Chain A
């Protein structure tokens, strides 16, 4: 039973398109995150939601919009995709924002052509 699941696993799309990545966790965690991992494996926080409320919004282009319909789901919508958006996007969740580790999904590899 997958704890944090992301769909799709792979996404290949053309520049200018709009796409969404879905994330669901069945751990009962209150906090969810989106991270972006670039080609050099560097992980950068994008967003964090706690109980459906946005608590962290790093310097991310406003083409990226997270949506949390309930605390078990955090989706990422990307408008007007650009070549530089190509990366692996990871969803994660945590029981507590400070004292617990994160549980990561398996990632969505986005390729913009």
Chain B
């Protein structure tokens, strides 16, 4: 069953601007992960944030997690045309449950 819901479904910005994508989920989680998928390619793991963490950084990426609101956000700063892709959040519950993906946000960065 689907767990995460990304918002917005699609986002178009100019190069150099920041892009913010949001994810909401329904049940308690162990961790939340963000992935990028370029057109016609596989998914690439970007960042994992555990349920006891509130914020995490990796390069131009900043992820926040609010477990009280069951929501997360992914911020990409100073976006580049190469950031154009679909971005998915995925939630992980206990050991044997699979990673459950949301529907994704399609980001277009215009040069």
| A complexed with B | yes
* Chain A residues close to B by CB (< 8 Å): 4, 33, 35, 40-45, 48, 55-56, 58, 90, 92, 97-107
A41 touches B33 (CB 8 A): no
B95 touches A107 (CB 8 A): no
Total interface residues on B, CB under 8 Å, equals 27
If A41-B103, A45-B98, A56-B96 are given as contacts, then 18 extra A-B residue pairs at C-beta distance below 8 Å, sorted by A number, are A40-B103, A43-B43, A43-B88, A43-B101, A44-B101, A45-B99, A55-B96, A90-B43, A98-B30, A98-B94, A100-B48, A101-B45, A104-B43, A104-B44, A105-B42, A106-B42, A107-B40, A107-B42
Instruction: Report which residue of B41, B97, B98 has the largest number of chain A beta carbons within 10 angstroms of its beta carbon.
Output: B98
How distant is the Cα of A4 from the Cα of B41 in the complex, in angstroms? Answer: 12
Q: List 16 A-B contacts (CB under 8 A).
A: A33-B98, A42-B2, A43-B88, A45-B98, A45-B99, A48-B98, A90-B43, A97-B95, A97-B96, A98-B95, A99-B30, A99-B50, A100-B48, A102-B99, A106-B41, A107-B41
Q: List B4-54 residues whose CB lies under 8 Å from chain A.
A: 30-31, 33, 35, 37, 40-45, 48, 50
**A41 and chain B: residue at smallest CB distance:** B104
How distant is the Cα of A27 from the Cα of B85 in the complex, in angstroms? Answer: 25
Instruction: Report which residue of B31, B42, B92, B100 has the largest number of chain A beta carbons within 10 angstroms of its beta carbon.
Output: B42
How distant is the Cα of A45 from the Cα of B48 in the complex, in angstroms? Answer: 19
**B44 and chain A: residue at smallest CB distance:** A104
How distant is the Cα of A35 from the Cα of B30 in the complex, in angstroms? Answer: 21
**B33 and chain A: residue at smallest CB distance:** A101
Top-9 shortest CB links A-B: A101-B45, A104-B42, A45-B98, A43-B101, A104-B43, A106-B42, A97-B95, A41-B104, A107-B42
Instruction: Give every chain A residue within 8 A of B92 (Cβ-Cβ).
Output: 98
Q: List B78-103 residues whose CB lies under 8 Å from chain A.
A: 86, 88, 92, 94-101, 103
